[in-house]
Amino acid sequence: MSLYFDAVALLTAPSAGGSFKSRIYSARDLRASPAQIYALITEASKWDRVLSEVIEHADILSLERKLTPHLALLLVHDHLLSKNGIAAPAAHPIRQAVERHKNRLKAEFTKARVRRGCASVEQLKAAVLREKRLANGTANWVYPRWVRINNIRTSLEEQLRTTFSSYQRVDTLQGLAQDEGDFSGRKPEPRLYLDPNIPDLVAVPFGADFTASTAYKNGEIILQDKASCFPAYLLLGDRGSQKPWAGDLVDGCAAPGNKTTHLASLLAKQQKKKQTPHRIFSMDASRVRSKTLQKMVSLAGADRTVTVLPGQDFLALDPVDPQFEHVSGLLLDPSCSGSGIIGRDDVPQLTLPATSSKSSKPQGKKRKRRADDRENEIDTQQSKATVGVPRASATDENDTPTGAIDHERLTKLSNLQARIVEHALGFSGATHVTYSTCSIHVIENEAVVARVLASEVAQHGGWRLLRRDEQPDGLRRWTHRGVRQDREGETDPKLDRGSVAVDLPDEALEACLRCWPGDAEGLGGFFIAGFVRDPQGARATGITDSDGEDEWEGFSD
């Protein structure tokens, strides 16, 4: 039972900063596991509208004094939708308070499904999500599931013939969304969109689940957001087997390993049989996250190419260590504020059941007030959980803040980000470096680029930005480019110090790529820029590829 009381305590606690998830994981005195609590809240919040309707129509809040609206929503969720029902002993009074009404709840749930013209619970879920999006004004956003084909193990053609054989191709991303609005009870037709910007990337409707598929279990397909595919593609480009990449690579902030395995996949496509194999040094400062990185590398079949350095701080890596002398490209995707990540930032806004229906109607307001009063009384008595204040560290994946910008935190992050990129520019044989974040803030993006370009290491090494016309074909066509100032509404007006403007020339902004949450591209917020220098700018390294050509192959295309 502690699961439900802990969950309500966290849902109703005042925000202490950080993402909701990080607040759960750093909470004190929880009796249930944070993973269980997070899963319960996330799932219940998808169903909140229909559950509230069911609870109101069954009128159980008026009948059961022990239940509060939050508690009822979570319990009824598990009672109706969880495989194992309510996670509490059968004799527990709170469990009984729900199960006493099982026939009414079931009947109201069926009515809610039929009212929406849905033949199955799955269809009802899609319909309810659509309703939710219509209500919060995000109905036209398309957030597909992005699937990257891993060229080490398979090819796009093979996957279209097998895993996606029953999928119908659509010409636009929006074409994927149509099924969601169809409440007719028909089984939705699986649809697939071939991405025009990133090779070997497809989009399918968000609900598609591949976790049980052979292709997923064998590492033939990898679930990776489109924006997260930009860095490896920007670094290695469309070289093809005639002009393959030469030299080794470093992924300096690599866990869980999406970009490392993407680098390995692109190399596998370019690799010539005779060519000396490339090496990718992939590291993460977090030992725990390095384990995930290693697992992902093995699953992708990239063990021969990738050397994982577990727990390695990139800043402590010696750029003149002989083992890195052939490193020509580095990918840096360090920890950031995570402000571009969709749906991760704050407490789910639940639609809660009101108490005033049927029998309680005449005294609704009073009852509602009493229910609200009960909320804190009951829930705080039953859970001792207190919300923690998550702290960002170099080993956090990302430091996801709430809406308001903590300028100090952003400044610290951007200092670290600039140090990491400058360290990469110090590798003597490096000619290409990419920098990326999943932040929307200029201070972590264009401002870091401006600082890096002005740094001594960049100036002395002859580094500049990879211009738009030099970028791989798919990315050259990407229209969303760098900005000088944060977009309105993305900084807290009370903290005008939070907004930073940069003084980069137009060509430099054109070189930077942006993704924005909430537009028609179906992505979260993301930023990426590439740095290059001509080989003569790099200290002579004597790197040659297997054909004896100089390492530098010019810009990819």
515 tagged catalytic: no
Structure tokens at 545: 């590829």
CB of 254 to ligand SAM, least distance (A): 5
Q: Establish whether 333 is an annotated binding residue.
A: yes
Q: Establish whether 313 is an annotated binding residue.
A: yes
Residue whose CB is nearest to ligand SAM in the complex, by number = 253
Catalytic residue among 118, 229, 438, 512: 438
Q: Establish whether 506 is an annotated binding residue.
A: no
Q: Establish whether 103 is an annotated binding residue.
A: no
Q: DSSP per residue over 164-195, as a string?
A: TTTPEE-SSSGGGGGGGG--SSPPPPPEEEE-
What own/partner pairs with CB < 8 Å and gap ≥ 24 does 520-524 have?
520/140, 520/142, 520/173, 520/174, 521/173, 521/226, 521/480, 522/141, 522/142, 522/143, 522/144, 522/173, 522/203, 522/226, 523/225, 523/226, 523/227, 524/225, 524/227, 524/340, 524/341, 524/342, 524/438
CB of 16 to ligand SAM, least distance (A): 22
Question: Of 123 and 398, which CB lies nearer to ligand SAM in the complex structure?
Answer: 398
Question: Of 56 and 251, which CB lies nearer to ligand SAM in the complex structure?
Answer: 251
φ, ψ at 408 (rounded to 5°): -65, -40
What lies within 8 Å, CB to CB, of 324 at 6+ separation is 248, 250, 281, 317, 318, 427, 429
Please state, as a whole number, how many other Cβ atoms lie within 10 Å of the Cβ of residue 224: 20
* CA count, 13 A, side-chain hemisphere, 223: 14
Please state, as a whole number, how many other Cβ atoms lie within 10 Å of the Cβ of residue 545: 19
Q: Establish whether 258 is an annotated binding residue.
A: yes
Q: Establish whether 415 is an annotated binding residue.
A: no
CB of 313 to ligand SAM, least distance (A): 4
Question: Of 94 and 235, which CB lies nearer to ligand SAM in the complex structure?
Answer: 235
Question: Of 285 and 452, which CB lies nearer to ligand SAM in the complex structure?
Answer: 285
Q: Establish whether 392 is an annotated binding residue.
A: no
- The binding site for ligand SAM (CB under 6 A) comprises 228, 252-259, 283-286, 289, 313-315, 333-335, 394-395, 397-398
The 10 Å CB-count burial string (b at 16+, else e) for 62-92 is: bbbeebbbbbbbbbbbbbbbeeebbbbeeee
Distance of CA 114 to the CA centre of its chain: 34
CB of 422 to ligand SAM, least distance (A): 12
Check residue 426 and report its DSSP letter: T
CB of 464 to ligand SAM, least distance (A): 24
Please state, as a whole number, how many other Cβ atoms lie within 10 Å of the Cβ of residue 532: 21
**Coil, strand, or helix at residue 327?**
strand
Question: Of 69 and 334, which CB lies nearer to ligand SAM in the complex structure?
Answer: 334
Question: Of 168 and 323, which CB lies nearer to ligand SAM in the complex structure?
Answer: 323
Peptide bond into 256 cis (omega under 30): yes
Beta-strand relationship, 327-332 and 432-437: parallel
Tell me the binding residues for S-adenosyl-L-methionine: 253-259, 284, 313, 333
Tell me the binding residues: 253-259, 284, 313, 333
Active-site positions read 438
